[in-house]
Structure 1
């Protein structure tokens, strides 16, 4: 028995590791496709790119593990069935649950480990990922000169080149507008023309190094607030000129990662529970502050009429709202207008108070839904891994096909169904249409009966996906149908003859 179990474990662990890295590679390609525009053209070091990809990979593990588990289970059991090894084990008296018992233990350990991954590793990786992406977004584009176009990526500098040699980087027909003088645009402005030169960023990315040849510069000195009356023009020719201009934004500066710790994706399950308790108190408090005073103190208050000023001809103490409406036509136009104005002011004040508190309540309620979704996501992942295994192992035993053909098709089909159901349930849970427990566990509720049914069929050697089995069933149904029609036709013919 131990030898057979070692064989099964060896047959499963290899495809599991292989399929996991294949799935992670596909998901990483999708990640790069989404963020490629924000990464290209900023001169990022290879270390920063690798660091960012590692954070993204940790975030993609919860999506890759269930699919890898499903695909590996179908491949393993399909290979055993295709090579008649599974048939030999069953002939020796082993049932399917006994055969996959060591795999259930391994997948159970993987499921338990996935909880710690999604609870500890993923929030930390998300925090680092959001911090790194925010720092990258703050960076400016690297120097990219296009022939005949101005480059305005540096504050108060506009640079135009006629042509750039792609091999040497030599710039021809350089034109530079420098507005870095004191007073902004009302300060000194320098225009520089050069036949050729080099413009690059220093290694520490703190200076713009400009080296120009055979040119001249024009400096227009203006007196602040008197540009319209006083200005001087200075002209300077040069054969070679080198300048260092301080710049900022081209070097990646690390920010504090704790500023991203207040997001639901960056909290573990204990922190999420604390945040859920806090948000529930905030929602209840905001609701009580907004709706209760409005309903009890303004709309349905017993002394609603007492908050308004009435003409001497009306006595609010003895009036009801219906009586007040009946009495309004008895007043003159000015008195009616005053009463309606007071009512409109009270309505606007009530709406303002309600809108202010309702905004806070909606924000707290939205955050509450998001934190509940993340809380249930951390618990639903280990269960989904086990469910996918219990779907994949019986499927592989039924179809008896190994390799990457049929298993990939079936795995992708089940995973697409799982993904669509999960996304739909998560969306409804975040909107508050469903409770988070229903939205996040909907896919598990739907796939669990399928796993139980497939396990039952595989244990009883059902020909669920056997084409010959379906052909035989179709032939039997066809023969029964023909027999029934023949009997019916014979009875009708006999009745007509009689």
Structure 2
């Protein structure tokens, strides 16, 4: 590799990292706000929140890396133009094709990495995300229990909690109905306070009432403590990637077997999306060079503005195409690939114009 090519790659490295970080942060803002609410309101530990955030990163990165590459390339070549380095490259005999060569190589390597991310890392991230969610629910049942709502999903129990202290994980004024197969009337448990130990609710200073088949009170009494098992409500589940977006291309292809065409559409849309977005990295990298080189007045602000405009247009066209494809208005191939075809067409026209002007 020539020294000048190494120089270009070294110079573009930090702007690309900046671009990817910037777009990733924008995508993460809503998730971060939601997780901060979980820390404050639901009492989830900061470590668990950070782990959840880390598992959200891979699927977000698969979308933001092409955007970051585009912005990073634009920032780098805008600088080359302002400092006349682009002119110097031309003066030593470098054609536009020569200037693009290291960028295309870098973008191709990044494209392969995105495919690896989608096939290997993202399915595991979704599985880990489900695992940690179950872990939080298992260790801290308050995470799922809600105030003043009757919960009727705990096998033989129905729960009603008037108030939950999210800081101490203690409940006040707890009403529990213990269902009995041989009696239409459940046993009623009333607790002034309750706390959680593992997956058991421990009632303190409580009363109980049992009933005869005719509805009259059979027995009533008090007790200091009583354990109510909630393991069936927060039971461990077999982690399986079910969301289409969490599946790799290989898994999606396997799921096509035995389905009707209508059932295949969501899978076909997702397969094409997982191919189209990574491949857009190379086209966006080339477009970033072409839009930046030769514009002496463009700076970081202008590069950021242009990149946002291009990315926003691409995302809108892609999302509209996917919606239309999922509804059967257009084919999955047309709906997903049209934005890429428009991107390739625009880039090719701009390249022809720039290459012609450089002669």
TM-score interval (norm. to shorter): 0.7 to 0.9
> 2:188 aligned with 1:189, yes or no?
yes
Alignment deviations for residues 3-43 of structure 1 (CA, whole Å, 9 cap, x no partner) = 32232111101111121122112112234567888998555
Paired residue for 1:110? 110
- Which SS does the other structure have where 2:22 is aligned? helix
Paired residue for 1:245? 227
Q: Name the CA distance, whole Å, in 2 between partners of 1:72 and 1:25.
A: 15
Over 3 Å counting, the alpha-carbon distance change for 1:33 and 1:399 in structure 2 is: farther
Paired residue for 1:208? 201
Q: Name the CA distance, whole Å, in 2 between partners of 1:181 and 1:426.
A: 48
Over 3 Å counting, the alpha-carbon distance change for 1:247 and 1:32 in structure 2 is: farther
Paired residue for 1:71? 71
Q: Name the CA distance, whole Å, in 2 between partners of 1:134 and 1:95.
A: 57
Alignment deviations for residues 406-454 of structure 1 (CA, whole Å, 9 cap, x no partner) = 1111111001110111112222222232222222210111111211222
How far 1:388 sits from its partner (Å)? 0.5
- Which SS does the other structure have where 1:110 is aligned? helix
Q: Name the CA distance, whole Å, in 2 between partners of 1:143 and 1:452.
A: 53
Paired residue for 1:433? 329
Q: Name the CA distance, whole Å, in 1 between partners of 2:77 and 2:39.
A: 42
| 1:191/1:219 contact within 8 Å kept | yes
Q: Name the CA distance, whole Å, in 2 between partners of 1:167 and 1:52.
A: 21
- Which SS does the other structure have where 1:186 is aligned? strand
Paired residue for 1:373? 269
The within-5 A match list for 1:219-238 is 219-223=208-212, 225-228=213-216, 231=218
Paired residue for 2:19? 19
How far 1:119 sits from its partner (Å)? 3.0
Give the unaligned 5+ runs of structure 1: 283-363, 463-498
| 2:103/2:286 contact within 8 Å kept | no
| 1:122/1:266 contact within 8 Å kept | yes
How far 1:117 sits from its partner (Å)? 2.2
Q: Name the CA distance, whole Å, in 2 between partners of 1:264 and 1:181.
A: 39
| 2:119/2:249 contact within 8 Å kept | yes
Give the unaligned 5+ runs of structure 2: none
Q: Name the CA distance, whole Å, in 2 between partners of 1:381 and 1:26.
A: 18
Over 3 Å counting, the alpha-carbon distance change for 1:211 and 1:246 in structure 2 is: closer
How far 1:128 sits from its partner (Å)? 4.6
How far 1:72 sits from its partner (Å)? 0.6
- Which SS does the other structure have where 1:442 is aligned? helix
Which of 261, 265, 268 aligns to 2:245? It is 265
Task: Name the one with the larger strand percent.
Answer: 2
Paired residue for 1:256? 238
Paired residue for 2:318? 422
| 1:157/1:180 contact within 8 Å kept | no
> 2:342 aligned with 1:450, yes or no?
no
Alignment deviations for residues 456-488 of structure 1 (CA, whole Å, 9 cap, x no partner) = 3444558xxxxxxxxxxxxxxxxxxxxxxxxxx
Alignment deviations for residues 245-298 of structure 1 (CA, whole Å, 9 cap, x no partner) = 22316986442223x35x54344334433443x24xx5xxxxxxxxxxxxxxxx
Paired residue for 1:397? 293
Over 3 Å counting, the alpha-carbon distance change for 1:412 and 1:246 in structure 2 is: same
- Which SS does the other structure have where 2:300 is aligned? coil
- Which SS does the other structure have where 2:337 is aligned? helix
| 1:114/1:381 contact within 8 Å kept | no
Q: Name the CA distance, whole Å, in 1 between partners of 2:47 and 2:18.
A: 26
How far 1:65 sits from its partner (Å)? 1.5
How far 1:74 sits from its partner (Å)? 0.5
Over 3 Å counting, the alpha-carbon distance change for 1:45 and 1:255 in structure 2 is: farther
| 2:169/2:195 contact within 8 Å kept | no
Report how many residues are paired. Answer: 352
Scaled by the length of structure 2, what TM-score is found? 0.80
Q: Name the CA distance, whole Å, in 1 between partners of 2:117 and 2:34.
A: 24
Q: Name the CA distance, whole Å, in 1 between partners of 2:130 and 2:207.
A: 46
Pairwise CA RMSD: 3.9
Alignment deviations for residues 186-231 of structure 1 (CA, whole Å, 9 cap, x no partner) = 24435566xxxx64222x2x2234455xxxx6654432x1334x64
- Which SS does the other structure have where 1:399 is aligned? coil
Alignment deviations for residues 119-148 of structure 1 (CA, whole Å, 9 cap, x no partner) = 3333443455466668878985449898xx
Q: Name the CA distance, whole Å, in 2 between partners of 1:17 and 1:385.
A: 14
